[in-house]
């Protein structure tokens, strides 16, 4: 169906895409179906009949030192346990078993650096480096259960560090490189990290940020933190090193023993903590464990992307610091023995065609990217990707936020040449692995819909008030059955875990935090967050987190942050700010507030728009009504204002906005 509509009839791309918006469904092509790993829809019924049997079968694809006794222990919901009694090691599954099977020479990562560097790292090399660094960590006193912080850019050492932790059973806590050093400190403090692995400097678009020096300025004296390991990457001179605390990565590796057998760990041993944003200003430490997590990411990576490890070149264009990077740059692809592309830099440096240049050169066959990136490429024009040979591509994925049909179609036509199926995958840091997605050899896709749950996953849309399942219509998305890669708790906050996800509809139903629509065919359309979480370019932020950064500015009395719809980034941060006393809002102050946010959270959290407000709309109980602020920011007619303590606030806000324009 897609191919006929895509045929070039001399009309412009724009006209063709508009015409295609009428097409509701895209069936898998016969050619794709015939070669797909899964092409029989019976897989859904089989998994629904016996979810535990299905997941056990997926777990069998891993190497276990000891087999499990129980697939699912649901004796204490919502604290579910998977594959209890089983022992395995994630690093063993990602490295040793491939090397032992004679696949050591296979490239694990085609790493491509900003300045044109190429480094192809094989499985055997990773195996060697991981063992050395695992021993180095042990030499530094890291023991099973100790938390290791990782704050690194997109370089192979980030994978080495993560797998070395997994090898010895030290849970890692990776902080995305775009977060500020202050955020790193906060996360190291919460998780009582013993070691932090960081870098001399990180390169971004031809500039180098002195990461180690900045970390030093903010880290202060953290009682738990004993060692800072520094990777030499940007080769900066004069990197400050504190005697007795700081060591060089290459030096500790060189001094460590070469062999480090993988530790057999309980299936429920913590693998990592990853902080993400929730409704309040304090980030949530999502805890994932060993056996279930690896089962989930390996199975979804294989089936959702139809991975053939001997032939495919996989490229997940996320950052390792987010869950997408954990699951689909590191753990899923390595467990499956895949060859991946790892791109260090930005999509527009050294030029706007760099992604396509890398895809052409590495002959990438599978690409997984965020809608915000696709919309950006759309804006830059189809002429850019069209200069490159993208004929090796055979499947495209989308993740992080809803993809609008126009961007979906552009991706399909311009990048996928009309021949690649698109998998729009919905999931979260909490779910560990993809939950709602097409299976490319089975599912007919509808642009904008993540379609249906992965086999072994059960989802419903339920009424906001009564929690009753909605057959067709809009409501709240819930997952109604435990799955192996689910978060086990919030690190050191069991109560908050239960409260956040299982208080509203009971311990059997996981509250996702997204609103969704179910159509008559049972397809799910994700609408967006129901809590105060904003999704900027696929980066999750809490409004409360940004607000507390803004009010840290001495001239600010109060701030309310909302996510405003944005053509490029999906949502953008818009802040309503009330200043102290008679202070006037100026451009200078806008820059200062942006700087405070960059310092406390990260540059990506800086407000795109600041609106000065004499007062903010509040309910009688003093709650800020963000819904009204969203209406104002997006230029809509105001909703109900009768519950406001002082309805006149809205009129004056509206006139302030007009004055500013």
Match 């099973």 to its residue by tokens: 144
CA distance 599 to 72: 44
Residue ranges in 552-581 that form contacts with ligand 6R9 under rule CB under 6 A: none
Between 110 and 412, whose beta carbon lies closer to ligand 6R9?
Answer: 412
Residue ranges in 262-321 that form contacts with ligand 6R9 under rule CB under 6 A: 276
451 is a contact residue toward ligand 6R9 (CB under 6 A): no
Q: Closest Cα partner for 231 from 314, 146, 162, 308?
A: 162
Between 365 and 429, whose beta carbon lies closer to ligand 6R9?
Answer: 429
> Which of the stretches 170-178, 494-502, 524-532, 625-633 binds ligand 6R9 when contact is defined by CB under 6 A?
524-532
529 is a contact residue toward ligand 6R9 (CB under 6 A): yes
426 is a contact residue toward ligand 6R9 (CB under 6 A): yes
535 is a contact residue toward ligand 6R9 (CB under 6 A): yes
Q: How far is the CB of 525 from ligand 6R9 (least distance, A)?
A: 9
372 is a contact residue toward ligand 6R9 (CB under 6 A): no
439 is a contact residue toward ligand 6R9 (CB under 6 A): no
> Which of the stretches 87-95, 106-114, 380-388, 396-404 binds ligand 6R9 when contact is defined by CB under 6 A?
396-404
Size of site (CB under 6 A) for ligand 6R9: 23
427 is a contact residue toward ligand 6R9 (CB under 6 A): yes
Q: Report DSSP letters for 224-251, one per residue.
A: T--EEEEE-SS--SS----TTTEEEHHH
CA distance 67 to 84: 9
- Report the residue from 158, 399, 573, 579 that binds ligand 6R9 according to the rule CB under 6 A: 399
Upper half-sphere CA count for residue 469 (Cβ side, 13 Å): 9
450 is a contact residue toward ligand 6R9 (CB under 6 A): yes
CA distance 383 to 405: 20
Report CA torsion sign: 620, 624, 626, 630: positive
513 is a contact residue toward ligand 6R9 (CB under 6 A): yes
346, burial (CB in 10 Å: exposed 0-12, middle 13-18, buried 19+): middle
Residue ranges in 70-109 that form contacts with ligand 6R9 under rule CB under 6 A: none
Q: How far is the CB of 251 from ligand 6R9 (least distance, A)?
A: 35
CA dihedral 349, 353, 356, 361 (to 10 degrees): -70
Between 295 and 535, whose beta carbon lies closer to ligand 6R9?
Answer: 535
CA distance 2 to 398: 18
User: Cα–Cα–Cα angle for 34, 37, 42, nearest 5°?
Assistant: 90
- Report the residue from 150, 262, 323, 367 that binds ligand 6R9 according to the rule CB under 6 A: 323
Q: How far is the CB of 532 from ligand 6R9 (least distance, A)?
A: 12
Between 256 and 399, whose beta carbon lies closer to ligand 6R9?
Answer: 399
Q: Report DSSP letters for 639-658, one per residue.
A: ---TTBS-THHHHHHHHHHH
Buried b (16+ CB within 10 A) or exposed e, 171-200: bbbbbbbbbbbbbbbbbbebbbbbbbbbbb
Match 């903590």 to its residue by tokens: 273
Question: At 179, is the secondary structure helix, strand, or coil?
Answer: strand
Between 289 and 485, whose beta carbon lies closer to ligand 6R9?
Answer: 485
Between 133 and 411, whose beta carbon lies closer to ligand 6R9?
Answer: 411
The residues facing 149 across adjacent strands are 173, 196
> Which of the stretches 148-156, 187-195, 388-396, 427-435 binds ligand 6R9 when contact is defined by CB under 6 A?
427-435
CA distance 619 to 288: 39
Between 294 and 450, whose beta carbon lies closer to ligand 6R9?
Answer: 450
Sites of contact with ligand 6R9 (CB under 6 A)? 276, 322-324, 399-402, 424-429, 450, 513-514, 526, 528-529, 535, 538, 540
């Amino acid at each position: 169906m897609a191919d006929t509509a895509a045929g070039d009839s001399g009309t412009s791309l724009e006209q063709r895409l508009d015409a295609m918006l009428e097409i509701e469904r895209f069936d898998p092509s016969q050619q794709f179906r015939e070669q797909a790993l899964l092409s029989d829809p019976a897989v859904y019924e089989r998994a629904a009949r016996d979810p535990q049997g299905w997941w056990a079968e997926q777990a069998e694809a891993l190497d276990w030192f000891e087999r499990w006794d129980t697939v699912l222990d649901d004796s204490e919901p919502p604290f579910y346990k998977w594959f209890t009694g089983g022992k395995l090691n994630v690093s063993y599954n990602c490295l040793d078993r491939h090397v032992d099977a004679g696949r050591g020479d296979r490239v694990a990562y085609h790493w491509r650096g900003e300045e044109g560097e190429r480094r192809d790292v094989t499985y055997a090399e990773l195996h060697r480096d991981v063992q050395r660094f695992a021993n180095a960590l042990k030499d530094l006193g890291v023991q099973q259960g100790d938390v290791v912080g990782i704050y690194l850019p997109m370089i192979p050492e980030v994978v080495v560090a993560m797998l070395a932790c997994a090898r010895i059973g030290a849970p890692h806590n990776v902080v995305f490189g775009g977060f500020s050093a202050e955020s790193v400190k906060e996360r190291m403090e919460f998780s009582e990290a013993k070691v932090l692995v960081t870098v001399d400097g990180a390169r971004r678009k031809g500039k180098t940020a002195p990461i180690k020096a900045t970390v030093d300025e903010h880290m202060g004296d953290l009682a738990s933190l004993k060692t800072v390991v520094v990777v030499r990457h940007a080769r900066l001179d004069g990197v400050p090193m504190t005697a007795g605390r700081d060591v060089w990565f290459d030096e500790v590796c060189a001094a460590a023993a070469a062999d480090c057998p993988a530790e057999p760990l309980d299936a429920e041993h913590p693998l990592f903590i990853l902080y993400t944003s929730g409704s309040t200003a304090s980030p949530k430490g999502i805890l994932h464990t060993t056996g279930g997590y690896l089962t989930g990411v390996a199975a979804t990576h294989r089936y959702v992307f139809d991975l053939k490890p001997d032939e495919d070149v996989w490229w997940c264009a996320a950052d390792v610091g987010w869950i997408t990077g954990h699951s689909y740059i590191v753990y899923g692809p390595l467990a499956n023995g895949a060859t991946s592309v790892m791109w260090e830099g930005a999509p527009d440096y050294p030029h706007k065609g760099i992604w396509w240049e890398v895809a052409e050169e590495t002959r990438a066959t599978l690409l997984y990217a965020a809608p915000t990136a696709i919309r950006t490429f759309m804006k830059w024009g189809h002429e850019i990707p069209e200069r490159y040979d993208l004929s090796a591509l055979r499947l495209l994925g989308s993740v992080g936020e809803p993809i609008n049909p126009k961007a979906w179609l552009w991706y399909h036509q311009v990048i996928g040449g009309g021949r690649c199926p698109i998998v729009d995958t919905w999931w979260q840091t909490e779910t560990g692995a993809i939950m709602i997605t097409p299976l490319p050899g089975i599912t007919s896709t509808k642009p904008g819909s993540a379609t249906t749950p992965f086999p072994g996953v059960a989802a419903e849309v339920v009424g906001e008030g009564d929690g009753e399942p909605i057959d067709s219509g809009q409501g709240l998305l819930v997952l109604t059955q435990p799955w192996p890669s689910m978060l086990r708790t919030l690190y050191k906050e069991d109560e908050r875990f239960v409260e956040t996800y299982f208080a509203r509809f009971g311990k059997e139903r996981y509250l996702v935090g997204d609103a969704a629509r179910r159509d008559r065919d049972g397809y799910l359309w994700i609408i967006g967050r129901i809590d105060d979480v904003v999704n900027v370019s696929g980066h999750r932020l809490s409004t409360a987190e940004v607000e507390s950064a803004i009010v840290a500015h001495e001239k600010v009395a109060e701030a309310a942050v909302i996510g405003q719809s944005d053509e490029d980034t999906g949502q953008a941060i818009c802040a309503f700010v009330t200043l102290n006393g008679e202070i006037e809002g100026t451009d200078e102050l806008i820059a200062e507030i942006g700087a405070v946010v960059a310092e406390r959270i990260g540059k990506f959290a800086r407000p795109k728009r600041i609106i000065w407000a004499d007062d903010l709309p509040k309910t009688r109980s003093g709650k800020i009504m963000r819904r009204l602020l969203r209406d104002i920011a997006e230029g809509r007619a105001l909703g109900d204002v009768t519950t406001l303590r002082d309805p006149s606030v809205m009129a004056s806000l509206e006139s302030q906005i007009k004055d500013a324009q």
